[in-house]
A = this chain, B = another copy of it.
Amino acid sequence: MLKQIGEAAAKAKYTLHGLTTEEKNKILLAVARGLEEDEKRILCQNEKDMDKGREKGMSAGLLDRLCLTKERIYAMAEGIRQVAKLPDPVGELLESFQRPNGMVVEKVRVPMGVIGIIYEARPNVTADAFALAFKTGNVVILKGGSDALFSNLAITESIQKSLEKQGVVKEAIQLIADTDRKTTEEFMKMNDYLDVLIPRGGAGLISMVVNNSTIPVIETGTGNCHLYVDCDADLSMAASLVVNAKTQRIGVCNACESLLVHKEIKDSFLPLLMKELEKVHQVEIRGDDQVCALIPQAKKATEEDYYKEYLDYILSVKVVSDVKEAIDHINHYHTGHSDGIVTENEKTALSFLNGVDSACCYWNVSTRFTDGFEFGFGAEIGISTQKLHARGPMGLKELTTYKYIIKGTGQIR
C-alpha cells in the first residue's frame, strides 16, 4: 500500500510544478471554502475520535488538542487563506553567473518534491501541512496519530474533493490510513519516493524519527533556552525579560528554562526577579548553593536540572563568574534552540552572540520571539535545531530546494 502511495505522489509532484502562483492561490482558497462546507461531516468524524479517546481515558489536554469545533474548522480554513496570501518563493533566481567558457549558470528555487510529515493527534496539522506544502509546489504524504484517524481522513477527503474540482490530482495530499507501527517504520525508509521527512510533535516522536528514518529529516526540536543576565545588565529590563520568557507561555519550545546570573549582580538581581515573578505566577526555582542562599524557597538543582526542558513553571538558576562561563555552560547544556544575554555592554554582548552555538542568539530580547510569525515569515513549519538545510524558524522558503540550470552553445570539456 505504501508503495502505491509513493508512486501516486511521484506522479502527482510533477503536475504541481506546472502551476502558477495565481493558480495555487486560487486552489488554496477553494480548499479553505471546501473545509467550511464540509464542517458537519468533519465534526461528525471527529466525534468518533473523541469517543474513542474518552473510552481509552485520554487526558483532558490531549482531548482538547484532538477536539474540533465549528470555530476550529473555520480557523483552519482561515489559516489556509493566510498561506494563499503569502509570497510564493518558488522560481526565485538565487544566483546567476557566467563562466569563462561562456556557459551561464542559474541557481533557481524549486519545490522539494514529496514531503512526508509524521505528527501526533492534532487534526489541524493535516490542513496546515497541506497548505504550506502546496503553496511551495510540494506533494505531501501525511502520517497522523492514530487517535485522530477519523478526523484526519475527513479533512483529507475534503481537501482531495476540492482539488479534484479544481482540476488538480487529488494525490497532492495523501494520508496513510494504516496506523500499524510497522507501516510507520516502512514509511521512514521510503527514500525512493520522499525527499524529506518532517516530524511535528514532542521529543519522543522526533527522536523516533531521527533514529529510524533513512530519508533526510528536518529535526524540529526541543528548547532548553537560557537567559544570561550580565553584570552590566539593566536589571529591571532583565527581570522583565526573564518573567516574559519564563511565564508568558510555559508549554512552548522557546520558553526560558534556565537562568544564568553574573556573580556581581546576583544579590541585587535575584530578589528583584523573585518579586516580579510573584506578581505573575509562582515559579519553582532550582538553583546552585549561591542561589539557594539568596532565595529561601529555592530547591537545590541537580546536574539533570540544567539539561531539562521543563515546559512548566520551573526555572533552573546558576551563578556564573563571567560571560565566558555563561557561554560554556550554555553550549554544554542547551539544545541549540534560543539563548539570550541581557547586558548594556556591547563587547560582552558580541562575544556572547558569536560564542553561543544556537539557532537564535538574543541580545536584550525575550527568547519567546523564535517563531516564524514573529520573524515575519507569515507561516511556520517548525523550529529547526539541526544545522543542515534550515536552522531556527522555518517558513515557506525552507520547504524548497534549488536546482542549477546551465545554458550554453555546445560547451564541452
Residues of A within 8 A of B (CB): 13-14, 17, 97, 99, 103, 105, 112-113, 191, 195-196, 210-211, 214, 216-219, 234, 237, 240-241, 244-245, 248, 331, 349, 353-355, 357-366, 368-370, 374-376, 386-389, 391-393, 401-413
Contact B216 A214 (CB under 8 A): no
Tell whether A359 pairs with B403 under 8 Å between CB atoms, given A113-B387, A248-B413, A413-B248: yes
Residues in chain B near residue A362, CB distance under 8 A: 406, 408
Contact A409 B364 (CB under 8 A): yes
Residues in chain B near residue A393, CB distance under 8 A: 404
Contact B411 A365 (CB under 8 A): yes
List, sorted by A's number, 24 A–B pairs whose CB atoms are closer than 8 Å.
A17-B354, A17-B355, A97-B376, A99-B369, A211-B214, A216-B386, A216-B388, A241-B410, A244-B412, A245-B412, A359-B403, A360-B404, A361-B403, A361-B404, A361-B405, A363-B405, A364-B409, A364-B410, A365-B406, A365-B407, A365-B410, A369-B411, A388-B388, A391-B402
Contact B214 A210 (CB under 8 A): yes
Interface of A is mostly: mixed
Contact A363 B413 (CB under 8 A): no
Instruction: Across the interface, name the chain B residue whose C-beta is closest to A211.
Output: B214
Known interface pairs A14-B357, A364-B411, A366-B411; 13 further A-B residue pairs with C-beta atoms within 8 A, sorted by A's residue number: A99-B369, A196-B388, A216-B217, A216-B219, A216-B387, A349-B407, A359-B404, A362-B406, A364-B408, A369-B406, A388-B389, A391-B401, A391-B404
- Separation of A359 and B108 alpha carbons in the complex (Å): 10
**Min CB–CB distance A325 → chain B (angstroms):** 13
- Separation of A364 and B248 alpha carbons in the complex (Å): 59
Contact B413 A353 (CB under 8 A): no
Contact B14 A364 (CB under 8 A): no
**Min CB–CB distance A291 → chain B (angstroms):** 23
Tell whether A191 pairs with B218 under 8 Å between CB atoms, given A365-B410, A388-B389, A413-B374: no
Residues in chain B near residue A105, CB distance under 8 A: 375
- Separation of A147 and B388 alpha carbons in the complex (Å): 31
- Separation of A360 and B389 alpha carbons in the complex (Å): 19
Tell whether A387 pairs with B355 under 8 Å between CB atoms, given A217-B216, A244-B413, A410-B237: no
- Separation of A40 and B105 alpha carbons in the complex (Å): 43
Contact B374 A99 (CB under 8 A): yes
Give the 7 A-B residue pairs with the shortest CB-CB distance, closest first.
Answer: A365-B408, A244-B412, A387-B401, A389-B389, A216-B388, A237-B410, A368-B413
Contact pick for A412, options B240, B388, B413, CB 8 Å: B240
**Min CB–CB distance A19 → chain B (angstroms):** 12
Contact B369 A413 (CB under 8 A): yes
Contact B191 A210 (CB under 8 A): yes
Tell whether A363 pairs with B406 under 8 Å between CB atoms, given A99-B375, A196-B387, A388-B218: yes
**Min CB–CB distance A175 → chain B (angstroms):** 23
Contact B388 A401 (CB under 8 A): yes
- Separation of A22 and B315 alpha carbons in the complex (Å): 42
- Separation of A97 and B369 alpha carbons in the complex (Å): 14
- Separation of A392 and B389 alpha carbons in the complex (Å): 14
Residues in chain B near residue A219, CB distance under 8 A: 216
**Min CB–CB distance A183 → chain B (angstroms):** 19
Contact A103 B407 (CB under 8 A): no
